[in-house]
Copies of this chain bind each other. A is one copy, B any other.
Amino acid sequence: MPLAKIPRYTAIENELRSEIASGQHLIGKMLPSEAELCRRFQVSRFTIRQALRGLQADGIISRTQGAGSRVLRDTPASVYIQNYRSVPELTQFAEETQLELIKSENTILNSAVAERIGGTEGEVWFLMHGVRQILKDEPLAFVESYVPQHYGGLARELAIGTGPIYAGLANDIGEKVTRAEQETQALPAPNHIGAVFGIAEGSPMLCILRRYFSRSGLLIASFNWHRGGDGYIHRTYIELQSD
């Protein structure tokens, strides 16, 4: 008693998955063209395209008109999905907060910061210190933002204005934010930051580093320092897709 018949395109999709997972088609390399795959599997172009569509939907390949299909990864991209509806939801800053710029300067990266933000030790970057507030004198976050030096003037203007800096930077170069990275750790309050929050140097603080990227690369990296304890809790909700 054979199993239910699966569609031809699913069988082909599975075979290509297998070949990719086993290293027959390396990450970064091109798959055979649609025409070649039609010849290999003796099926119509529609069937091949349906199989490739499945791989594309899983983030395993990208397809470019005129170029072909490139392997992006060797396993499906996700099992669990976390949904964000907006940038403020992502950063957990309500739109009613505002950033007050305290100081900005060019700075030479030390090795610790360079490693965290993706620059190189000794490079000159533009550094902005500010306080994000809900109400006047009610600090939500102390923010240290690093941008590549050539974005310095623009970033400073954006910091003074309204709207997120990274969106303004991306917009200026005609691109969109495509990727965000977030690193969370507990740190002792540095004296200059503890003073802003009225807490003792060395008290536990939550420090969240966020890096925003567009196609061209890093736009901005910001260290966000928050109160410890119940003074700031970073919340995340994850709906799990059925696989």
Contact = CB atoms under 8 A, between A and B. Distances in A.
A204 B228 contact: yes
B77 A83 contact: yes
Copies in the complex: 2
B90 A84 contact: no
B79 A228 contact: no
Nearest to A241: B178
Contacts of A64: none
Interface residues of A, number: 49
A86 interface: yes
B185 A234 contact: yes
A218 interface: no
A236 interface: yes
Given A186-B207, A186-B226, 7 more contacts: A90-B238, A178-B240, A179-B238, A182-B235, A182-B238, A187-B204, A204-B204
A81 interface: yes
Contact of A85 (B77, B187, B228): B77
A41 interface: no
A83 B90 contact: no
Contacts of A82: 81-84
Contacts of A206: 184-186, 206
Nearest first, the 5 A-B pairs at minimum CB distance are A204-B204, A80-B84, A78-B83, A82-B82, A186-B228
A187 B235 CA distance: 15
A179 B77 contact: no
A216 to B, nearest CB: 15
A205 interface: yes
A75 interface: yes
A235 B209 CA distance: 9
Interface string A61-92: 00000000000000111111111111101100
A183 interface: yes
Nearest to A112: B230
Interface string A178-208: 1111111111100000000000000111110
B183 A186 contact: no
Contacts of A230: 185
A233 interface: yes
Given A85-B79, A86-B79, A185 B238 contact: no
A205 B240 CA distance: 28
